[in-house]
Amino acid sequence: MNPNRFSSKLGVALALAIGSVSINAYAQFNKPQDAIKYRQSSFFVMQQNFARLAAMAQGKTPFNAKEAAEYGQVASLMARQPWQAFGPGTEGGKSLPLIWNENAKFQTASKNFIQKMDALQAATQSGNLDRIKAAVSAAGADCKSCHDAFRD
């Protein structure tokens, strides 16, 4: 085999191997309070957009496909934000110690949640209200299960 080809294959294999075991990277914050504020703010913006979709799904506000697609995009983007702000030394807010003590579980839960929010975004892009209803309900159940486990 051509050695260049081999090394590029090795590079890909290494990247895949590292990717599969990597944990979420933590961002640097000037002080722990900034990390807490960052995660609470991103949860807040996500929740506001999620709640607008939930209101449409429940018929509390009129369904508007274009607005729904925008809310879905913001919710999916925000769903990626909080986790980088749960680094060591940032305990506090409503976070239970379990987040740090059993961090692998929290990592798994956060990745699962991002998938739920991405499914919701995909549903909003489809413009199909029944799909949105199902995805809102799946994502909402996931919000709750994480809160029950990890939030005070």
Contact positions toward ligand ASC, by CB under 6 A? 47, 50-51, 54, 140, 143-144, 147
Smallest distance from the beta carbon of 80 to ligand ASC, in angstroms?
A: 18
| CB closer to ligand ASC, 122 vs 143 | 143
Provide Rg for the chain, Cα atoms. 19
| CB closer to ligand ASC, 47 vs 84 | 47
And the tokens for 32?
């722990």
Smallest distance from the beta carbon of 109 to ligand ASC, in angstroms?
A: 14
Smallest distance from the beta carbon of 58 to ligand ASC, in angstroms?
A: 11
Which ranges constitute the DSSP H helices of 22-102? Answer: 32-57, 65-79, 98-101
∠122-39-71 over CA atoms, to 5°? Answer: 30
- Nearest-CB residue to ligand ASC? 140
Contact 124, 53 (CB under 8 A): yes
Provide the 8-state DSSP code for 144.
H
| CB closer to ligand ASC, 50 vs 86 | 50
| CB closer to ligand ASC, 32 vs 140 | 140
Q: Output phi, psi for 95, to 5 deg.
A: -70, 130
